[in-house]
Chains A and B, each alone.
Chain A
């Protein structure tokens, strides 16, 4: 009997140890970003996130308790009623009272879980009275953020993966924010109810930031909404959560939650930048200025498909290509309007005229394409106008 008890004890220990390991290492950072050896959900930096976390832990503990009882009985039976110890099996095969009991008890447990679940869900759905609206659009494979401004022009920009191709290809060491870093993060003020309007440009995407407790599908043609009210400043990271094609794993989300004044200053800069772009449109640039600006744009927006040296990849090669060494207007046309039916997107709405002019100039004068000609923003502007 002692032997038996010892074996039973050992066996019962297994699941308990497994669960304890789950909880004791349940580490998360205050900033709510993934941590090494993290085993549990983050409560995040929002009230709703904390409620979701509590709900998750509550259901988890109910499962643990039920599991210990159920598996306890199961493993006890396996060990106590082995044939060598229990030669004569019992013959009972039903017990109405018992069967009713184990139907009713789980049902009551479910009701206990359903109550907080319902109230949290109602809160998640209450998107009214937001102080800031941001329109989020999923693209293959990047995000566009547009701040809705009731007084005038909306500020909008694209947010691309920043991680270097060399890190992904294992030729360079990976940084700590590998694959969860972007060139331009979404910036929102702390302690402010921000409403996200989520949609997609091409296929389904899903915008997910665990620390903000927001996950919403982005559906082309339709709009979804979600909201958050972060209580702590910080940088919060997430990823696209709906399979959206080749680079689904390479369209991260970074949200910068800052103090209200800092947000206002950032917004002012953004608006000034937009105004600056308008001014730049009328300006003429030197070859060096265009090439330098164009190189930055190329690395950010073109390199993924056309290669670091214009050698091509998913996209056609640019080095010695008939387009980059051909007629200027045709070259601008490809960038502005894209190539329907191919992976080449229309960048006319994604890049401003200054950037378009710069990148056209750059690709005409890099990778051995020594065309020597320049394209000015006004050329792009006139092209668009004349279409």
Chain B
């Protein structure tokens, strides 16, 4: 092989290897955060944003929106968990509060994490939580129960054709995961 060709081959290979590494990095470190960001903007899977800071407290009293609450236990999660109120009617812009009941039915300490999901997904970006138990993991000692608060505001810009919003919470057992995270934090 002529030297010039060999140099060119090495150059081509080098460029392609850079592309390989870039695509791997793209899949591992760009796609997941990008997806999460898109989820929050577009409401994919009814994901909602984090804590909301109230900027304007005007209330649109001309219409009401029904907000439904449902709850799910994931796989072996044995807690009792559910909304204390199954639905509320609110005016867009009006702050509202409901509570969810949770009880650790087990004879040992457990940690839970609840994951919210909203339908219709179009409504997700207009549903603002000012306080939610889902922002943090919830530990409960054996046999203990708790009423966990959720404060929210439905945005006044909610499209007019949406009359019902359903908010679902799935509760997961993250006791092991939390223990791992603690030990990692402790070792640092």
Q: Do A and B come from one complex?
A: yes
In the assembly, what is the distance between CA of A128 and CA of B122, in Å?
11
Which residues B34-68 have CB closer than 8 A to chain A? 45-47, 68
For the complex, is B172 an interface residue (Cβ under 8 Å from A)?
yes
Q: Is the CB of A384 within 8 A of B119?
A: no
Out of A219, A225, A384, name the residue touching B166 (CB < 8 Å).
Answer: A225
Interface size, chain B (Cβ < 8 Å): 31
Interface 1/0 per residue, A321-340 and B, CB below 8 Å = 00000000000000011101
Q: Is the CB of A150 within 8 A of B87?
A: yes
Report the minimal beta-carbon distance from A127 to chain B, rounded to whole angstroms: 6
Q: Is the CB of B76 within 8 A of A221?
A: no
Report the minimal beta-carbon distance from A125 to chain B, rounded to whole angstroms: 8
For the complex, is B22 an interface residue (Cβ under 8 Å from A)?
no
Q: Is the CB of B86 within 8 A of A223?
A: no
Report chain B residues within 8 Å CB of A197.
70, 119, 166, 168
For the complex, is B84 an interface residue (Cβ under 8 Å from A)?
no
Known contacts A135-B70, A220-B74, A221-B170; A384/B105 CB under 8 A = yes
For the complex, is A99 an interface residue (Cβ under 8 Å from B)?
no
Report chain B residues within 8 Å CB of A336.
78
| Residue of A whose beta carbon sits closest to that of B69 | A148
Report the minimal beta-carbon distance from A266 to chain B, rounded to whole angstroms: 21
One of B3-11, B90-98, B156-164 contacting the partner: B156-164
Interface 1/0 per residue, B93-128 and A, CB below 8 Å = 000000000000111000000010111100000000
Out of A135, A148, A223, A346, name the residue touching B78 (CB < 8 Å).
Answer: A346
Q: Is the CB of B117 within 8 A of A127?
A: no
Known contacts A148-B86, A149-B86; A345/B76 CB under 8 A = yes
For the complex, is B130 an interface residue (Cβ under 8 Å from A)?
no
Q: Is the CB of A346 within 8 A of B76?
A: yes
Interface 1/0 per residue, A132-161 and B, CB below 8 Å = 010101000000001011101010000000
In the assembly, what is the distance between CA of A370 and CA of B69, in Å?
47
Report chain A residues within 8 Å CB of B172.
221
| Residue of A whose beta carbon sits closest to that of B159 | A128
For the complex, is A312 an interface residue (Cβ under 8 Å from B)?
no
Q: Is the CB of B75 within 8 A of A127?
A: no
Contact residues of A: prevailing secondary structure: loop
Q: Is the CB of B164 within 8 A of A219?
A: no
Out of A133, A201, A222, name the residue touching B68 (CB < 8 Å).
Answer: A133
For the complex, is B14 an interface residue (Cβ under 8 Å from A)?
no
Q: Is the CB of A349 within 8 A of B76?
A: no
Q: Is the CB of B46 within 8 A of A387?
A: no
Q: Is the CB of B164 within 8 A of A130?
A: yes
For the complex, is A224 an interface residue (Cβ under 8 Å from B)?
yes
For the complex, is B72 an interface residue (Cβ under 8 Å from A)?
yes
Which residues A15-67 have CB closer than 8 A to chain B? none
For the complex, is B143 an interface residue (Cβ under 8 Å from A)?
yes
In the assembly, what is the distance between CA of A337 and CA of B163, in Å?
39
For the complex, is A249 an interface residue (Cβ under 8 Å from B)?
no
Interface 1/0 per residue, B160-185 and A, CB below 8 Å = 01111010101010000000000000
Q: Is the CB of B78 within 8 A of A150?
A: no
Q: Is the CB of A223 within 8 A of B117?
A: yes
For the complex, is B73 an interface residue (Cβ under 8 Å from A)?
yes
Report the minimal beta-carbon distance from A349 to chain B, rounded to whole angstroms: 6
Q: Is the CB of A128 within 8 A of B68?
A: no
Report the minimal beta-carbon distance from B19 to chain A, rounded to whole angstroms: 30
Report the minimal beta-carbon distance from A363 to chain B, rounded to whole angstroms: 21
Report chain B residues within 8 Å CB of A135.
70
5 contacts between A and B (CB under 8 A): A149-B86, A199-B170, A201-B72, A222-B46, A340-B76
**A-B interface, 10 closest residue pairs, ranked by CB to CB distance from nearest:** A223-B168, A222-B45, A225-B119, A223-B117, A222-B117, A387-B105, A221-B115, A221-B170, A202-B75, A150-B87
